[in-house]
Structure 1
Amino acid sequence: MQFVTNLRGGISYLWIAVVFALLLSGLSTALSQGSSPAPSPRFSTAEARMHYNKATVLGEKAEWGGAVLELNRALQNEPNHPELLIELGIALGELEEWDQAIRILKKAVELAPDSVRAHYNLGVTLDRFNPGKKPGTSEYQKALKLNPEDVGSLINLAANLGDQNSDEARKLLERALAIDPKNPRAHFNLALLLKNSGDGSGAVEELHKAIGLDPEPLEPRRHLVSLLVSEQRWDETVVQCQEILKRKSTDWSARYTLGQSLIRRSKVAEGRKELEKSQEIRQSQEKKEEVEKIVHQGVDALTQGKVEEGIKQFTSALKMDQSSSQAHMYLGVALAAAGRPDQGIEELKKAIELDPSSPRAHHNLGTVLMQTGRMDLARQELEKALRLDPYFPETHNNLGLILSRDNQAPQGIEHFRLASDLNPHYLEALFNLGLALRSIHQIDAAIQAFRRAAEAAPDNPEVHYALSMTLKDKGDLKGAKEAMDRATTLQQQSGAKPHSRR
């Protein structure tokens, strides 16, 4: 959804976005998530190093949005720094911003074709984005040509080749273990190969090694449980199921197996109790998954402009589960898009009642309140959203709009700048940043913002028009004419009515 408002002293084109943010489950893979340690990069500027160091600290705390912000700021100083691009690609991958992550990592590979880390992390990101097709295989092979002892690439290449060439996969894993005998992922992947080849005892041994080296992942324990059950080793099965449930109490499959194993050990009452819990959890999860599926279908309809179809899907989801905050949130967005903002606001409030910690719900409520002109309430909701997620660019953009409208241009500029630093290709934020800077007569900075917007959207006539007006303010009549000619050409090509010159 896109709205337009006026900014005092500037060109009257401000963009505002409502965000559709369906939270999907993360992928479970047997990929190695680490390759060779990151080398200490060299920098040409102190500013780039400072932002890189901040990003490193944030990444260690899994604050990936903050890491993206700092890495983008570092790249403003050194835009072709391969290690910065690699780290940015990793951070974007953790946020599941797959298209951006892949684009950034491909650029890193182009700039540093001899970088093992660039090839490895591109391979991991491609596999996480599309695990079924295993598109990262060629990148691991390239990494291994550069460094035949890169353990992460050996493990991931083996995982990708396992179904097609188990002998080659085993050789790769044995090479990895010869280099790093205490690598739990290598032991786990070797266990999977042995299990698939029918060597159950060998698989059990490797799974015990993997679990001993890293007891937290659930997948090794789940595979171990299936092997122990096949061998009727009930005491050991009980222990492993209990370990799984310590880490994930809602794992209905582990609880079911625990119940069956307890019964086999003549603990019938205790076993039946676990089986009943398992059934309750399974039914609840199946219902939740069905609701998520319907909500996802509604989001797809909404993003395709099929608003009424989206409303139908979200309403259907709520008939199944009135406690779904996601369904209420998206129904609220859809109702607002259908021209029923008051009803949308009520649904968004219900979403927040069910999940007060959702930054997306607060963001979307604030945005719909903006649509209805309730700016004070909108500001409150957007500020709540940023307290919950300070790294959401669309919220910064929308709050910047409110502040600019309230004659607080410097504060609005800070939010527009944050939004565009978080996402350097965020056209609306760049455009609004340029307008706000122009409104307080920071002409050089405004020109820089509009040039960045023109790079992000070279075929957008509004951007070139704004750039032309700002170059004219500076007295650069030649540059202003070139930008105006470009804007006019683009408008004629699109059939839009040209702007009058000012």
Structure 2
Amino acid sequence: MKKSRSARKTYLRFSSGDEALSTLGEELLKKYPDMLEKVERFHRTDKAIRRKAEPVLELFPYDWEDPEYFMEGVMHCVRGNYLGALGVFSDLMDRQPKAYPVYHMLGYVCGSMGKYKMEADYYRKALKLKPDAVQVYYDLAIACWLMGKEQKAFAAMKDSVGRVQDFNVADHWLTYASDNLGRYIDPDTLAEKEEGEKVRCQAQAYYMLGHAFVEFGLNAEARTAFKNAVRVQPKFADAYFELGALHIKKLRNKDRRKKYLEEAERLYVQRGDLLRASMAQQLNQSRDEAPEEEDSAEEWMKEGLRLQTLGLYQRAVDAYKMAISFEPQFLDAYYNMGIAYGSLEEQGMDTIVSAIGAFKQSIRIKPDFVHAYIALSAAYLRRGEHREVIAVLEKALEIDPENYNVYYYLGTAYRSEGQLDLALDMFERGVFLAPDSLQVRFSLGLVCMDCGEHESARDAFLEVLRIKPDFPDAHYLLGYLYREVFGVEEPAAAHLRKAEKLYAKLKDHERVEKIQQLLNATHE
């Protein structure tokens, strides 16, 4: 009699194409020698286990050849049988290599075993196949945090909010996965793993989610996320601190601000972090009442830089403002605040006017600070105010005539204004000062094309490829020049094919289609 799918012993099967998974299986068997016997006892079909596993099919729709086999792997996860889950999912990876849920679940199993690098790698494979699988970003954020890669962790959580700005979607997955998918089950005892691991990870996930919402100006959602962080982990000082900070100007509830910041201060003192306790106290009082330590401005400046490094630009702005409240002429705080506002603008927030104001104040404080002129010109350029760019940079040239960035932005502004001779002159000067600057070389090639100087354009793009061989735009334009201007088919086709591969990697389907049309025209 043929055995049913659910009766198969799948937990010993590993993909021959992934040695790392086989190694994980061996590690499990060594660590838990009696696991197979225990798995056999719990392997029988269990309606409760299946009910816990079934939501995964709904959350991650895919055209499965055999959905029951995938469910078998998920049910192994629910039981905490990582060995069985690895066997099923590695086998499925061979059978359906484009099934993104398999890579997600493989990552989840690796994370359950403490293999966080492998976990993150599988999540990234899943996202290559389905970039909008938002639940993968939540798990990737936790994996990166567990590896100590905070910047990547916050970036992954920001990516999730950039796709789905609904707290309930995140909350559902974080709660469901933590409670049901076996990550916190010890395979040896079938009880919960080391005390506090689940609490620590779930609270941190909500905390990072709160920061991500702040970045997109979703303050009510951020408050809910931070409140969930302290619900899960009641002594989470940083989450109380962020709740208090939110209520200062975003939600404007003084009583709640006071309550949260006092609790943050108490918890910081309790753990001996007197610096952050002082920051919570300063944040909780008006500027006139706030206790000023000797290095208050500098400490808030450092906090802003820390937050900016993590990609938390809105909170960095708030920290720089606190630094300025203690030192009104704090040049570095104004300059970095402008940079943070510019980064928020790139995320889709309307903050470019604030960036311009911060850079202008930097110049007022230090009129010979050339970096502020360059940053101000970049902000004007983003607004399309080319005459303002030229006026600012003409002053910058008087301060530092050897700064290639000044010539780059001047050249860009002149080109936008249609003053091609001036643009060409600026880019040539920039290249002379910085021969290996990718952006200056490429811009020089573009303006040479505009001027009809095709040989110079070709030379500039070849230099771009010397600096960065995999720069797709340079390959594309070289292919165009060789074919349409010089009439040389062989190098044209080589560069176009290279550009096609690079654009395909970037999922720039429009460019890929244009290149294919050019290549097809070449063969006709």
TM-score, with structure 1 as normaliser: 0.46
Larger radius of gyration: 2
The structure showing larger relative contact order (alpha-carbon pairs under 8 Å, at least 6 residues apart) is 1
